[in-house]
A and B are shown apart, each in its own frame.
Chain A
């Protein structure tokens, strides 16, 4: 079974299970999410079988919208890698046999293996950028080389470079679009379509902010597993894309109003940062110890970003921005959100606002921007808020390197520390 077939089978299984045997402790909105994924993957599988080419995006989920507005089908490589689950080993082997470093971030290794496995639709274009981390940049660079297709690298502006940075991004977007239009048959940029996507994403951001407010409630109405769910931008063409988050918010609001928490007794609450050994479900382990995880921060690239600010382009730029300009302004501002300093600030703010008792910082091996700041974030949290941080290392997809006894005993010890500091009985 290739990757896409496995995906279809997985979501069919999940949809069936929820329909036949719903779990009342889980979000009802999950069904909708799986249905969207199922429909999306089925379409992809069909396109794969028909030989339809896709644009490969090495990072930056917002670029799903830009490329789709140009008429591309898109695959966002890092999040696609996240979905291989227990099948990761095969893709590791492919990448490593090719000579790729086995000590870098495992997401990149899997996505390199996945692209080379021939199980994804072939690319017609590769887009990569300097907005997150170098493994994503070089991963994209490699894929472009491997498939010998046109590619574009987007340079992010220097921090605090203001209007000049905005212009730098905008000019590159225009360059990118005209390059795509000249190199890839059938590509034509439709700015109005980009505007439509932006309305959808803005609405989601708005809902996201409301959900964030609900997370402040004690007990937390949401489970750790659900806290990390976000509708992927890859689903932006699904008709129910906007519905999902509404449903999600409504369920949370209902629970919050009734004072129902995801845990029978919430003894402490923590934030989970960067990445996690998703194959091992550490969130359920924490919950079994009475620790809620209301918030998950996916690090530099996303997660609980800044607060949602409605477009204030008129104030800032003196006029209403076009959709492309708007995207550029977001990118230029986003450049400031990727520094370790702003990351530390963001985590502090979240901890303060959500009344968190601690942070679990997953030192994802190979993720330099993140592991290099773990200790600093921990020191800042201790100094500013007096809360502890667990720095725990591992891999997010390479389950062969995971040792459950070790990992859980560290989590357990941390829970003890949290409770001891709060003076709460276990």
Chain B
């Protein structure tokens, strides 16, 4: 329990800024110093509980937030996924040399290629690519469970440990705990004036992606009572927006929206709600339970069940009293580009204002972004 406001704010700030480029490596390096392994992740479809159970640190890779990617450009022309380019740049510049391995997936064609680039450049001693079916059906689930089982075996071999059902159940318990804590934070966002800004919330969720889970849980649990009563600096509580994006990990994007006169009250992002939504059932076979959660629950445009993403978002719009949606497509990341017309049409039919903006991975073209968001906020304003 944190009593003192100043101390609490300090602790909160530390947690919120954990994903910043200057800080995100700290925990991983501390972990390494204890002689333990760090495994990088580039999407949210890897059941990372298994990595946790293997005694390694599952660490989500965010790319460099700087604009220029001269090293990665050798392998990646400018018209390829910018997240992957910035990740490859971090690899090639040596920033990620501490990683023992990485588990990728075929989230999209570009992530598949990223895995091949690691292989070609002989990066890390453990590189795994998990196939995640693009659909959800009984057959797809059986296949995914088999794939996850193979991943578990691969990790056992690499880490030199046996991953027992008990250790998996423990890991699931820890992750579910994190999920329930973050769910409580998101519940607070339903308030007219939430205790956290949208940018702060993104800082909080991305922190969960780079910090050791036990430590993260300890911190967040200690801060929750403080958050209940916190008075944040919110410039404009209206209009309330939901941001939909994939790997948007830089809170500065959300801050930009909030500076332009809106409140980001909810999100539909890999780095936000989609990271922790849906707990893993604790009864039954843990691998099967994990496979079910990761394949069937994440409603992301990457999957061919676009309708689930739409109905999920519609639900959120209602519960979080959302006035409009900002949809960020990232340059050359195709799943969202292709799903966009459907998403837009469905939102328009439902009478939910919708703005789509193409962005780079790093924060660039701020003036243009700002104009779009401000204009959107102006169209949503009641009294104008």
Q: In this assembly, does B110 line the interface, its C-beta being within 8 Å of a C-beta of chain A? A: yes
A300 to chain B, nearest CB (A): 9
Question: Contact partner of B143 among A101, A134, A157, CB < 8 A?
Answer: A157
B213 to chain A, nearest CB (A): 27
Q: In this assembly, does B109 line the interface, its C-beta being within 8 Å of a C-beta of chain A? A: yes
Q: Which of chain A's residues have a CB closer than 8 A to the CB of B142?
A: 168
Binds B, one of A6-14, A138-146, A403-411: A138-146
Are B143 and A133 interface neighbours, CB within 8 A? no
Are B120 and A379 interface neighbours, CB within 8 A? yes
Binary contact readout A153-183 vs B (1 if CB under 8 angstroms, 0 otherwise): 1011111010010001001100100000000
Are B120 and A134 interface neighbours, CB within 8 A? no
Are B334 and A375 interface neighbours, CB within 8 A? no
Q: A368-B109, A372-B117 are in contact. Are A141 and B338 (CB under 8 A)?
A: yes
Question: Contact partner of B113 among A138, A139, A175, A373, CB < 8 A?
Answer: A373
Are A376 and B139 interface neighbours, CB within 8 A? no
Question: Contact partner of B79 among A103, A159, A161, CB < 8 A?
Answer: A103
In Å, the complex CA distance between A393 and B79 comes to 10
Q: Which of chain A's residues have a CB closer than 8 A to the CB of B304?
A: 137-138, 141, 153
Are B109 and A369 interface neighbours, CB within 8 A? yes
Q: In this assembly, does A60 line the interface, its C-beta being within 8 Å of a C-beta of chain B? A: no
Binary contact readout B126-160 vs A (1 if CB under 8 angstroms, 0 otherwise): 00001101110101101100110010000000000
In Å, the complex CA distance between A365 and B76 comes to 12
Are B334 and A98 interface neighbours, CB within 8 A? no
Are B133 and A104 interface neighbours, CB within 8 A? no
Q: In this assembly, does A135 line the interface, its C-beta being within 8 Å of a C-beta of chain B? A: yes
B334 to chain A, nearest CB (A): 6
Q: In this assembly, does A363 line the interface, its C-beta being within 8 Å of a C-beta of chain B? A: yes
Interface centre among A98, A101, A145, A369 (most CB of B within 10 A): A101
Q: A100-B341, A141-B304, A142-B338 are in contact. Are A155 and B77 (CB under 8 A)?
A: no
Chain A residue with the shortest CB-CB distance to B331: A103
A176 to chain B, nearest CB (A): 10
Are B77 and A172 interface neighbours, CB within 8 A? no
Q: A139-B338, A339-B116 are in contact. Are A155 and B79 (CB under 8 A)?
A: no
Are A369 and B143 interface neighbours, CB within 8 A? no
Q: In this assembly, does A247 line the interface, its C-beta being within 8 Å of a C-beta of chain B? A: no
Question: Contact partner of A371 among B77, B116, B139, B335, CB < 8 A?
Answer: B77
Q: In this assembly, does B81 line the interface, its C-beta being within 8 Å of a C-beta of chain A? A: yes
Are B80 and A371 interface neighbours, CB within 8 A? yes
Binary contact readout A179-215 vs B (1 if CB under 8 angstroms, 0 otherwise): 0000000000000000000000000000000000000
Q: A99-B340, A104-B337, A164-B146 are in contact. Are A340 and B77 (CB under 8 A)?
A: no
Chain A residue with the shortest CB-CB distance to B73: A375
Are A368 and B117 interface neighbours, CB within 8 A? no
In Å, the complex CA distance between A339 and B114 comes to 12
In Å, the complex CA distance between A202 and B112 comes to 31
B70 to chain A, nearest CB (A): 14
Q: Which of chain A's residues have a CB closer than 8 A to the CB of B344?
A: 99
Q: In this assembly, does A366 line the interface, its C-beta being within 8 Å of a C-beta of chain B? A: yes
Question: Contact partner of B146 among A139, A161, A341, CB < 8 A?
Answer: A161
Chain A residue with the shortest CB-CB distance to B108: A134
Are B112 and A369 interface neighbours, CB within 8 A? yes
Are A98 and B341 interface neighbours, CB within 8 A? yes
Question: Contact partner of A155 among B114, B134, B332, B339, CB < 8 A?
Answer: B134
B236 to chain A, nearest CB (A): 29
Q: In this assembly, does A130 line the interface, its C-beta being within 8 Å of a C-beta of chain B? A: yes
Are A340 and B75 interface neighbours, CB within 8 A? no
Are B143 and A168 interface neighbours, CB within 8 A? yes
In Å, the complex CA distance between A101 and B343 comes to 14
Q: Which of chain B's residues have a CB closer than 8 A to the CB of A158?
A: 130-131, 143, 147, 150
Are A153 and B135 interface neighbours, CB within 8 A? yes
Which residues of B from 87 to 141 have beta carbons under 8 Å from A?
Answer: 108-110, 112-114, 116-117, 119-120, 130-131, 133-135, 137, 139-140
Q: A155-B143, A372-B80, A379-B120 are in contact. Are A134 and B131 (CB under 8 A)?
A: no
In Å, the complex CA distance between A156 and B335 comes to 18
In Å, the complex CA distance between A135 and B108 comes to 10
In Å, the complex CA distance between A130 and B117 comes to 21
Question: Contact partner of A101 among B119, B139, B337, CB < 8 A?
Answer: B337
In Å, the complex CA distance between A366 and B119 comes to 23
In Å, the complex CA distance between A145 and B134 comes to 16
Q: In this assembly, does B74 line the interface, its C-beta being within 8 Å of a C-beta of chain A? A: yes
Binary contact readout B328-354 vs A (1 if CB under 8 angstroms, 0 otherwise): 000010110111111010000000000
Q: A138-B339, A142-B338, A368-B334 are in contact. Are A172 and B79 (CB under 8 A)?
A: no
A393 to chain B, nearest CB (A): 7
A343 to chain B, nearest CB (A): 9
A399 to chain B, nearest CB (A): 18
In Å, the complex CA distance between A137 and B75 comes to 25
In Å, the complex CA distance between A139 and B114 comes to 23
Are B341 and A99 interface neighbours, CB within 8 A? yes
A99 to chain B, nearest CB (A): 4
Chain B residue with the shortest CB-CB distance to A160: B150
Chain A residue with the shortest CB-CB distance to B338: A138
Q: A139-B338, A145-B342, A168-B143 are in contact. Are A366 and B116 (CB under 8 A)?
A: no
Q: Which of chain B's residues have a CB closer than 8 A to the CB of A155?
A: 133-135, 139-140, 143
Q: Which of chain B's residues have a CB closer than 8 A to the CB of A341?
A: 116, 119
B26 to chain A, nearest CB (A): 31
Are A366 and B338 interface neighbours, CB within 8 A? no
In Å, the complex CA distance between A100 and B340 comes to 8
Q: Which of chain A's residues have a CB closer than 8 A to the CB of B112?
A: 340, 369
Query: Can you spell out 30 A-B residue pairs with CB atoms less than 8 angstroms apart?
Result: A99-B344, A100-B337, A100-B341, A101-B337, A101-B338, A101-B340, A104-B337, A104-B338, A130-B133, A135-B334, A138-B335, A153-B134, A155-B133, A155-B134, A157-B143, A158-B130, A158-B147, A161-B147, A164-B146, A168-B142, A171-B139, A172-B139, A340-B112, A340-B113, A368-B81, A368-B109, A368-B332, A369-B113, A374-B77, A376-B75
**B residues with CB within 8 A of A:** 74-77, 79-81, 108-110, 112-114, 116-117, 119-120, 130-131, 133-135, 137, 139-140, 142-143, 146-147, 150, 304, 306, 332, 334-335, 337-342, 344
Nearest 8 CB-CB pairs, A to B? A372-B113, A138-B338, A368-B109, A158-B131, A99-B341, A101-B337, A340-B116, A155-B133
**A residues with CB within 8 A of B:** 98-101, 103-104, 130, 133-135, 137-139, 141-142, 145, 153, 155-159, 161, 164, 168, 171-172, 175, 339-341, 363, 365-366, 368-369, 371-376, 379, 393
Knowing that A142-B341, A372-B80, A372-B110 are A-B contacts, what are 14 other residue pairs whose CB atoms are under 8 Å apart, sorted by A's residue number? Answer: A100-B341, A103-B332, A135-B334, A137-B134, A142-B342, A145-B342, A155-B135, A159-B131, A168-B142, A340-B112, A365-B79, A368-B109, A368-B334, A372-B109
